[in-house]
A and B are shown apart, each in its own frame.
Chain A
Amino acid sequence: MVYWNPIEVMPVDELKALQLKQLKMLVYKLYTFSPFYRQKMKDAGVTPEDVQTLKDVGKLPFMVKKDLRDGYPDKLFLATSREVVRYHASSGTTGKPTIVGYTQNDIEGWSESVARGLVSAGVGTDDVLQVCYTYGLFSGGLGLHYGAEKVGAAVVPASTGNTERQIDLVQDLGVTVIAATPSYLLHMGEVAAKMGVDLKKDTKLRLGILGAEPWSQRMRDRIYEQLGIKAVDIYGTSELSGPLWSECGDQNGIHVWADMTLIEVVDPNTGEPVPIGEKGELVVTMLQKEAFPIIRYRTGDITTMHEEVCTCGRTHPRIGRIQGRVDDMIIIRGINVFPSQVEHSLMTNPEVGNEFQIVVDRKGALDTMLVRVELRPEAFGDRVFELDAIKDRITHKLRGSLNVGVNVEIVEPGSLPRFEGKAKRVVDKRVY
């Protein structure tokens, strides 16, 4: 078995001792240098001395998306701009995104994490790896890029879109590994078929690093049968750095590197840890991040945790497939979208009312998102081109703030459902 780093097979008790040391150092550091987290600890009545065992992590306060949003742009940073070497941005729940910063060591740790995962799935220096995640402020593209480059694979930074050209590159450059969302990979298979290219027979593709959206075992099997590609799951979020952890070749769950991370799975209602192996909300503490420390961050993702040593020999804990969200966030073509973001953008248009509906579906392999919004009677004029212009304006604003290709439909006032309690804004017609 090939390991990127021998620490991947460190005996469990040594790993846990290392984690405890990292945790204590992190807590002292934050208590001393982070006004935000020191205040949170004081409010919770906790001091660094209270953390003496790994279990004591439960005494520490959680960090939530709201903290990150309120900290815009860099109030939670522990590094100055001189030390920061990269910024990434992730979806906010309203108008503003969350900004994450990285020092050189943070980039190094992030790349190391991804590299370990890639090697555990069998990626090596002979591989040609095409990155089809978005490059830019979104952390997906660059995260895979730096990890794959570190391993020594030949990286093709394709990003998203221009699928026909991507298929040409896959053939002409002898691409063996592809990193993409599962729906994009299936879409690529469809486009290739139209071009007369069989991804199974006409390319060297053998491995897929697939994530950023939920996908099932059924999809995994379909990808293997139709495209000849063995697919492993990858997970991460920008708040934690970006894509971080992936499945080894035994496809037994995602390895979460314990020397860099402490994970918990808690009951989303009580915050208490659930018995090992049971599902709950993933809570993450990043033990070594410098610029943007994350401690007990509630990811909102529902999963299970497993501590047995994997069949591959790695001793670090694993998490199972993400099974859902605790909130109303949806994922469209790998991009996180909160209904509250949609609401925030829609309300800047005086021509539409307060009610809206999001209809999500899948055309072929790709997700579609339709936002239906009610026209205000005062905004109705007899001129069709003015109504078209209103629709275009709404669409343009939405696309700009969500970074997703969304369509808009104007409907009559009173035609959308009203809700007594919590509004159910999303109709999701997708079947995985």
Chain B
Amino acid sequence: MSEVGKYRIKQLSIFSENRPNRLGAVAKVLKEGKINILGFSIAEGAGYGVIRVLVDRPEIARDLLTKEGFVVKFTEVLAIQMEDRPGGLFDLTDHMKDINIEYGYGYRNPPYAVLIVRVEDIEKGIEQLLAGGLKLLDGTTFH
């Protein structure tokens, strides 16, 4: 893997149909596999959802979920570090004007915060963010 390849974070996307407690079912698999969730979001579609998870052992999590019948796919995302203070996000977006963000979610991890994003062109995204002086977290932070 190239130098910048380390910034491509493996996120799990799980298809969840419109049935009660699908989230519980996913969480159960991860619990039993002793998988730790590091980041998490749920996106709603028309009559179904997509659960997006960052975990400490993505390959194992994928295999466990697939075995239980879930439809799972890997998506590559970027993890951008922000300062944990008012204006932390704004400072970030100032350097992201040319990047097409498809979706994102964030979490706070003192002393800093993290924005997870999927961008349209991940190579270009990495290039521009680093050129703008932003700090990207690499895979080892997660898995």
Contacts and interface: CB of A to CB of B under 8 A. Distances in A.
Interface in A364-403: 375, 377, 380-384, 387-388, 391
Interface stretch (A58-66, A260-268, A405-413): A405-413
Consensus secondary structure, chain B interface: strand
Interface residue tally on B, bucketed by range: 20 to 34
A415 B118 CA distance: 30
Given A387-B45, A411-B17, A381 B71 contact: no
A382 B75 contact: yes
Interface string B21-65: 000000000000000000000011111101010000000000000
Interface residues of A, number: 17
A414 B75 CA distance: 23
B69 interface: yes
Contact of B18 (A388, A409, A413): A409
Contacts of A380: 13, 15, 71, 73
Contact of B45 (A388, A411, A414): A388
Contact of B44 (A377, A382, A384, A415): A384
Interface string A407-432: 00111111100000000000000000
B17 A382 contact: no
B71 A375 contact: yes
B102 interface: yes
Contacts, number: 53
Contact of B47 (A383, A410, A415): A410
A411 to B, nearest CB: 4
Contact of A412 (B47, B50, B71): B71
A414 B68 CA distance: 10
A93 B70 CA distance: 34
Contacts of B69: 412-415
B50 A410 contact: no
Given A375-B71, A382-B118, A384-B43, A410 B19 contact: no
A382 B52 contact: yes
Nearest to B18: A409
B50 to A, nearest CB: 6
A385 to B, nearest CB: 8
B67 to A, nearest CB: 12
A375 B70 CA distance: 11
16 contacts: A375-B15, A375-B71, A377-B71, A380-B13, A382-B50, A382-B75, A383-B102, A384-B43, A384-B45, A391-B46, A409-B17, A410-B47, A411-B19, A412-B17, A412-B69, A415-B19
A375 B45 CA distance: 14
